[in-house]
Amino acid sequence: MFIRNDPYPISPIENHRRREKGVLVYPVYSRRSGGLSVGINLFPGQKCCPFECPYCEVFPFAADVVFSCKQMEEDLRAAVAAAREQNVPVKDICFSGNGEPSLSPDFSAALKLADRIRREMVPAAELVLITNGAGLLQPGIFSLLRDAAGSFALNIWLKLDAATPQWYEKINRTAIPFEKLIAAIKEFAESAPVTIQTMLCTVDSKGPTDEEAQAWETLMLELAAAGNIRKVQMYGKARPAPEDPKTTALPIEYLEKRAESLRQALVAANIPVEVYP
Ligand code: SF4
């Protein structure tokens, strides 16, 4: 049963907390999108993710709401229409929300529907998926994403926080074997363009080791050489998380130093490296 807990959020929000109140669509000002991003949440009732990143911003919640494409269509059209009325350009329509979107049974249908509405109402907006890559281990989802990157021009923002099993264990806390996930990411990046996103923060007061930093840069170079990376986005902890203070922000100088090192290493490949402290 769908129950609205509050009026539909036509006004863009400054953070993602409204996702925890059972909404399917949530406009938000996004640093990484550079403007208004209309988020789609496939898990309005509860968080659903095979990762347990300690910096995760989803606070515990349970809502008596079930995702439906019909409701999503209505809410997405309303959000885009409201943005147009206010002359606010929609930068993207983005699958994100309380978990890993590609693992939702509704993902395929919702993706096609969102693309149809995007083309009809805001063709200049991008279609984006924020993913932790877990779906790439399933051949059906791997193919779906590869094909969508081609036919829908789906822009895939792929989380890649760690390049060593030790840091992966701390920063992503998942049962998915590190080597399997990295292999799937490498294979995927050979067949479809991706934007890599990496969170840089401390866990239990310690940041990534020098060994981790070096391994990550080497991995980026491997991916750039073998595939088609659109850009690399390195971002810091900027929002509250339920596990605070288990993770904390690192100094901006650290992020800039890591980014500059990668820029130098990637100079021939002409891949943008952006920092969002
Ligand atoms: S992958 Fe995303 S949703 Fe899942 S635990 Fe990590 S930050 Fe949270």
Domain parsing of the chain, residue ranges: 17-199
Task: Tell me what pLDDT residue 19 has.
Answer: 58
pLDDT tens sequence across 25-55? 999 988 888 899 999 999 999 999 999 999 9
Contact 266, 220 (CB under 8 A): yes
Quote the pLDDT of residue 18: 57
Select the CATH number that applies to the domain covering 17-199 from these four: 3.30.420.40, 3.40.1370.10, 3.20.20.70, 3.40.50.720.
3.20.20.70
* 217 Cα–ligand 1 center, Å: 22
Ligand 1, atom 6: closest residue by C-alpha: 53
Measured from the CB, is residue 97 less than 6 Å from ligand 1?
A: no
- CA 135 to ligand 1 centroid distance, Å: 13
pLDDT, residue 17, reads 53
Identify the CA nearest to 27 among candidates 71, 78, 70, 62.
78
Q: Which atom of ligand 1 is nearest to the CA of 159?
A: 1
pLDDT average per 10 residues of sequence, the chain (277 residues): 36 52 88 90 94 94 92 96 93 94 98 97 97 98 97 95 98 98 96 96 98 98 89 95 97 98 92 95
- At 97 the pLDDT is 82
Centre of ligand 1 to C-alpha 47, Å, is 9
Cross-strand partners of 255: none
Question: What pLDDT sits at residue 47?
Answer: 93
56 pocket-lining for ligand 1 (C-beta < 6 Å) = yes
Q: What is the pLDDT of residue 31?
A: 83
